[in-house]
Amino acid sequence: MNAFKYVVQDTYGKTIKGVARAEDRSGLIEVLRERKYRVLSIEPATQLDFLFFQLQDILSGVRRENVIYFTRQLSTLVRSGLPLPKALESLAWQERNPKFKAIIETIKNDIEKGRSFKDAISKFPHLFSNLYTGMIESGEAAGILDDVLERLAQIGMQELDIRTKVQSAFTYPIILLCVAFFVVGFLLIGAVPKFLDIFRASNSELPFITMILLNTSTFFRQFWFLIIVLTVTGIVLLNGFYRTEKGRTFFDGVILRIPVFGELYTKIVIARFTRTVSALTKSGIPILRALDISKSILNNVIMKAAVEQIRIGVSQGKDLAELFQKAEIFPPMVVQMVSVGENTGKLDEMLGEVAKFYETELEYTLRNLSSSLEPLLLLFMGFVVGFIALAVLMPVFNLVKVFKQ
> For the segment 322-353, what is each residue's pLDDT rounded down to a tens digit?
999 988 888 899 999 999 998 898 989 999 99
Position 206 scores a pLDDT of 76
pLDDT digits (tens, 9 = 90+) for 142-155: 788 888 999 899 88
Angle between helices 145-186 and 347-404 in degrees, nearest 10: 10
Q: Are 91 and 107 a contacting pair, CB within 8 Å?
A: no
Virtual torsion, Cα 292, 297, 299, 303, nearest 10 deg: -40
In this prediction, residue 55 has a pLDDT band, given cuts at 50, 70 and 90, of low
CA distance 169 to 188: 30
Q: Higher-confidence residue: 5 or 46?
A: 5
pLDDT of residue 395: 76
395 with 209: CB under 8 angstroms? no
Q: Please give the Cα distance from 207 to 199 (Å, whole number).
A: 11
Residues contacting residue 78 through CB under 8 Å, at least 6 positions apart: 84, 87, 145, 146, 149
User: Taking 60 as the threshold, does the pLDDT of residue 58 lie above it?
Assistant: no
Query: Residue 53: pLDDT band by 50, 70, 90 thresholds?
Result: low
Q: How much of the chain exceeds pLDDT 90, in percent?
A: 16
Q: Identify the pLDDT of residue 35.
A: 63
Mean pLDDT over residues 218-241, rounded? 89
Does residue 405 register a pLDDT over 60?
no
pLDDT value, residue 54: 60
Q: Which of 18-27, 200-209, 365-374 has the highest mean pLDDT?
A: 365-374
Res. 44: pLDDT tops 80: yes
What torsion do the CA atoms of 273, 364, 166, 67 make, to the nearest 10 degrees?
50
Between strands 2-9 and 38-44, the pairing is: antiparallel
Return the higher-pLDDT residue of 88 and 191: 88
The amino acid present at 85, given as its one-letter code, is P
Q: Are 155 and 71 in contact (CB under 8 A)?
A: no
Average pLDDT over residues 119-128: 83
Which domains, and CATH codes, for the chain?
2-59 (3.10.20), 155-405 (1.20.81.30)
Q: Residue 73 burial (CB < 10 Å; 0-12/13-18/19+)? A: buried
